[in-house]
Structure 1
Amino acid sequence: MEHFSPKVSIIIPVYNGVNYLTEAIDSALAQTYKNIEILVINDGSNDNGQTEAIAEGYGNKIRYISKSNGGVASALNLGIAKMTGDYFSWLSHDDLYLNTKIETQIKTLAALNNPRAVLYGDYSVFTTDPDKDILCKMKGVSPFQFRHWITFENCLHGCTLLIPKIAFQECGLFNEQLRTTQDYDMWFRIAKVFPFVHCSEHLVKARSHIEQDSLKKKDIVLDECNQLLSNFVKQLSLTEIQQASMCSSGLGYAQLASSMWYRGFFPAGRTSAYLSLINSFQAPLKEIMLAQCILMKGFLLHYMVKPMRKLFSPYSRRNIKQFLTRFSSFTKNVDRSYATPAQNASIDHLKEMNLADKFSTVYENNLFGGNISRSGEGSDLVQTATIREAIPKLLVEFNISSMLDAPCGDWYWMRNIVLNIPQYIGVDIVDALIKKNQTLYSRDNVQFKCVNLVKDSIPQAELIFSRDCFVHLAYQDIFAILHQFKASGAKYLLTTTFVDRQHNDDLGEGFWRPLNLQLAPFNFPEPVRIINENCTEENGAFNDKSLALWKLDELLN
């Protein structure tokens, strides 16, 4: 979006903020992005006018509004009602913005070309000295998995967000009945219809001090969090559970239950455990047993061992710890062996289709679940950050002048690479996708063609780039495509491989599985180069995902 400079309203709710308010306002005024307004909402402070005096001392640099005490949610809602900006940015009166916070996010929005995106970022925590802060980096998840993520981990900081004002018009305001969880309740509702995108930058410094509500109202926090998380679990769709956990819904709910118990949210954990049992009822026996193992581990550890640990002798505690470690390792390994994309639950009807119809249906119905790219979350700007930097360097190093991208998908992330080569050809089996790419992205050195890799003639290029292709295909089709690639006269193949996998499986009834191309039945030699993608999907379950470069004349010999 060229010349994108929307007005941003920074809302600072405050109650008795004499200790920290000046620093917060100063950090807002120091923003390098200048199209902002700052609203300080005094939520009925009873400090003899000290908070008001600080705010009014800034004159017309800020807008000051005073109201009777009603809680943070009511102050934020008043700020939203009074704001004149296009985007909302919350700053707690005891926290600090880095001076590039808003500018960084506006640039990210411009690059995304999606004004409905909600941005969140990384933050740090300090006690007294902001220069002695500890950075908390968010891993970043796909927009479709965001609601599951904040249910599973709840580590998001609300002051890092940048939210389009229209989100409140469509999704409602903060729930003023909630005293400590109004923020997560709001994010969960917004995320149902607006994509949340991670901006991988340090944006906020959050202060930790004994006067915070989360410390002063521990009982209220615990009760509200249990109610909130129980509601979240009930509202998550089965598709969200499956795609985020990379397993069946029964196992996914069991993982949520274990996470709740680990964090001390026992009622919410029981809700998740109940849903796990209900959704495992008709599952295969092995799956039921695994779900039971996960639930049993969580129950033993968090209901019995931890509360009663002081009653055991040091020797007994050591033996219990060793048992739980072995048990945890067992469940993790079995769980990982069951990890398959949850799209499988949505694509049973594709099994009998030919490749063209199958992938056209996937594209038309967005069955990969990508809120940004229809090629799925693995094609967003977070999961492709490493390879977007590595591929241009590889092209230069190996003196590549022409590249065939097979399949090219919707070209979401590839258009963010400066390739600097005379010829790029993107091919895909989905005709509607290719026509759209031709209309939007074709130029002198960039072409798109509809090609069935199994049977059509392959355009000639020095390098064939084939990311996330073979993982969706049966062995028979993979070998047919590899022979096609070799026959095309290309010199190199750069393709996906999972280097730590110990065995390969044919596609069977599913639609995806990881493949290690150096194992049978492919038996590829050592690659010329390996690029680890630094994949963070599914909490690192696929951190061995890599692009490997081979010479085609050394394959299938």
Structure 2
Amino acid sequence: MPTVSVIIPTYNRADALPRAIDSALDQTLSDVEVIVVDDASTDDTASVVTAYDDPRVNYLVHETNRGGSAARNTGIADASGDYIALLDSDDEWAQTKLERQVETLERRSDEWVAAYCGTEILDDGDANPLVERAKTLLGDHGSREGAEGGEELVKEILMENLHTSAGSTLVVESEVVDRIDGFDESFDRYQDTEFLIRVLKQGKLAYVDEPLLRRYPSGGPSADTVRRANAHFLKTFAEEVVELETRGYDVTGTHQYALAAQYLREGRFDTGLSYLRAGATPAPAQLPGLVYSVARGVQSRMST
């Protein structure tokens, strides 16, 4: 039985996938199994994975595309490790990631059931530093990483004050994953966040204060896709949202502001401004990101 089962769901990422697999196999904690779940890719994913001559690599294939949540559940059902570790197929781990997280959990009491770590976002080499700073300000909405705790962190997540990159940072005790029945397959976005909230209702989340995940630039979903996913997410946690808003936390407004930024970046200014008017008042630190969002929208409209 391996210590950690690494679940890598993938769909048409044959070019990036070896980076993720290699980083999982090259861990200083070598007692791992790497379960790659191919969600019906149509590129060279099969040849990429089957080229690995390593008994720790297990390749599972969906006959039809079922989405990331279903792919993760397929991997979880096949896993035999003491811990489940999640890794997106276009991300990469530092070599000590799993060792540091497992050590952290094993030093603590039984109430600590999961761990995440710091993230390094790798931008394009020729990117303008000022533009990248604006993107950062826009993307985190004043969020932070590094918080530890249990169910009290649900508020921070719903208010978008805490971003964990759970889809590639999270390590969770397998017993907990089984107890919460894995991922909710009705989610095609926000699935990692929804999963993490349910983990937090089972025990505490620890943090390893090192940038052990490397994320690369990639295109995101459309604003309409985010809007639909956001509505499903808030509906799922409606009880928690109502409770927080009765205490004065503007959960809905915070999410409307985030949607405004998405629509403004796409050059859909009427929709973006309507969400901005309905959303939470931006903090001063968020204004440069908002300006960047408008500039991206102008650029998008000029190019069409």
* Mapped partners of 2:46, 2:119: distance in 1: 28
The residue that corresponds to 1:226 in the other structure is 231
Query: Does the aligned pair in 2 maintain the 1:122–1:203 contact within 8 Å?
Result: yes
Query: Does the aligned pair in 1 maintain the 2:154–2:200 contact within 8 Å?
Result: yes
Query: Does the aligned pair in 2 maintain the 1:17–1:51 contact within 8 Å?
Result: yes
* Mapped partners of 1:22, 1:107: distance in 2: 26
* SS of equivalent residue, structure 1 residue 41: strand
Q: Deviations over 1:227-252 (max 9, x none)?
A: 312432423685xx4xxxxxxx6343
The residue that corresponds to 1:11 in the other structure is 7
Q: Deviations over 1:255-298 (max 9, x none)?
A: 334423332379xxxxxxxxxxxxxxxxxxxxxxxxxxxxxxxx
Matched, 1:44 2:37: no
* Mapped partners of 2:31, 2:223: distance in 1: 39
The residue that corresponds to 1:200 in the other structure is 209
* Mapped partners of 1:29, 1:108: distance in 2: 20
The residue that corresponds to 1:149 in the other structure is 156
Matched, 1:100 2:108: no
Q: 1:84 to 1:223 in 2, by over 3 A?
A: same
Q: Deviations over 1:485-516 (max 9, x none)?
A: xxxxxxxxxxxxxxxxxxxxxxxxxxxxxxxx
Matched, 1:263 2:270: no
Q: Which has the higher contact order (CA 8 A, sep 6+)?
A: 2
* Mapped partners of 1:17, 1:301: distance in 2: 34
Aligned-pair CA distance for 1:80: 0.3
Query: Does the aligned pair in 2 maintain the 1:8–1:89 contact within 8 Å?
Result: yes
Structure 1 or 2, whichever has the larger Rg, is 1
Q: Deviations over 1:172-223 (max 9, x none)?
A: 121222211222221122211222222222121112212xxxx244322221
* Mapped partners of 1:61, 1:98: distance in 2: 18
Aligned amino acid, residue 197 of structure 1: A
Aligned-pair CA distance for 1:128: 4.7
Query: Mind listing any 5+ residue stretches in structure 1 that lack a counterpart?
Result: 242-248, 267-298, 307-320, 326-557
The residue that corresponds to 1:80 in the other structure is 76
* SS of equivalent residue, structure 2 residue 156: helix
Aligned amino acid, residue 145 of structure 2: M
* SS of equivalent residue, structure 1 residue 264: helix
Q: 1:53 aligns with which of 43, 47, 51?
A: 47
* Mapped partners of 1:115, 1:55: distance in 2: 37
The residue that corresponds to 1:303 in the other structure is 277
Query: Does the aligned pair in 1 maintain the 2:260–2:276 contact within 8 Å?
Result: no
* Mapped partners of 2:75, 2:235: distance in 1: 29
Q: 1:140 aligns with which of 139, 147, 153?
A: 147
The residue that corresponds to 1:35 in the other structure is 31
* Mapped partners of 1:123, 1:78: distance in 2: 26
Aligned-pair CA distance for 1:81: 0.4
Query: Does the aligned pair in 1 maintain the 2:112–2:205 contact within 8 Å?
Result: no
* Mapped partners of 1:220, 1:301: distance in 2: 15
Q: Deviations over 1:452-479 (max 9, x none)?
A: xxxxxxxxxxxxxxxxxxxxxxxxxxxx
* Mapped partners of 2:80, 2:234: distance in 1: 33
Aligned-pair CA distance for 1:121: 1.7
Aligned amino acid, residue 156 of structure 1: T
Q: 2:16 aligns with which of 13, 20, 27?
A: 20
* Mapped partners of 2:35, 2:218: distance in 1: 24
* Mapped partners of 2:216, 2:122: distance in 1: 5
Aligned-pair CA distance for 1:23: 0.9
Aligned amino acid, residue 163 of structure 2: C
Query: Does the aligned pair in 2 maintain the 1:36–1:85 contact within 8 Å?
Result: yes
* SS of equivalent residue, structure 2 residue 151: helix
Q: 1:304 to 1:161 in 2, by over 3 A?
A: closer
1:121-520 maps to which residues of 2 (within 5 A)? 121-128=117-124, 138-153=145-160, 155-158=163-166, 159-210=168-219, 215-235=220-240, 238=243, 241=244, 250-253=246-249, 255-264=250-259, 302-303=276-277
Aligned-pair CA distance for 1:13: 0.8
* Mapped partners of 2:202, 2:279: distance in 1: 41
Q: Give every structure 1 segment of 4 or more consecutive aligned residues whose post-TM-superposition deviation is greater than 4 Å.
A: 132-137
Query: Does the aligned pair in 2 maintain the 1:115–1:164 contact within 8 Å?
Result: no
* Mapped partners of 2:84, 2:225: distance in 1: 27
* Mapped partners of 1:234, 1:110: distance in 2: 33
* Mapped partners of 1:87, 1:260: distance in 2: 32
Aligned-pair CA distance for 1:304: 7.1
Aligned amino acid, residue 277 of structure 2: Y
Q: 1:261 to 1:195 in 2, by over 3 A?
A: same
Query: Does the aligned pair in 2 maintain the 1:127–1:209 contact within 8 Å?
Result: no
Q: 1:264 to 1:220 in 2, by over 3 A?
A: closer
* Mapped partners of 1:160, 1:168: distance in 2: 15
Aligned amino acid, residue 254 of structure 2: S
Aligned-pair CA distance for 1:168: 2.2
Q: 1:192 to 1:127 in 2, by over 3 A?
A: same
* Mapped partners of 1:160, 1:305: distance in 2: 29
* Mapped partners of 1:99, 1:301: distance in 2: 42
Query: Mind listing any 5+ residue stretches in structure 2 that lack a counterpart?
Result: 262-272, 285-304
RMSD after superposition = 3.3
Aligned-pair CA distance for 1:305: 10
Aligned-pair CA distance for 1:106: 1.1
Q: 1:63 aligns with which of 47, 58, 63?
A: 58
Aligned amino acid, residue 225 of structure 1: N
Query: Does the aligned pair in 1 maintain the 2:29–2:98 contact within 8 Å?
Result: yes
Aligned-pair CA distance for 1:165: 1.0
Q: Deviations over 1:28-67 (max 9, x none)?
A: 11101111111111111011xx111110111234111112
Query: Does the aligned pair in 1 maintain the 2:257–2:279 contact within 8 Å?
Result: no
Aligned-pair CA distance for 1:163: 0.7
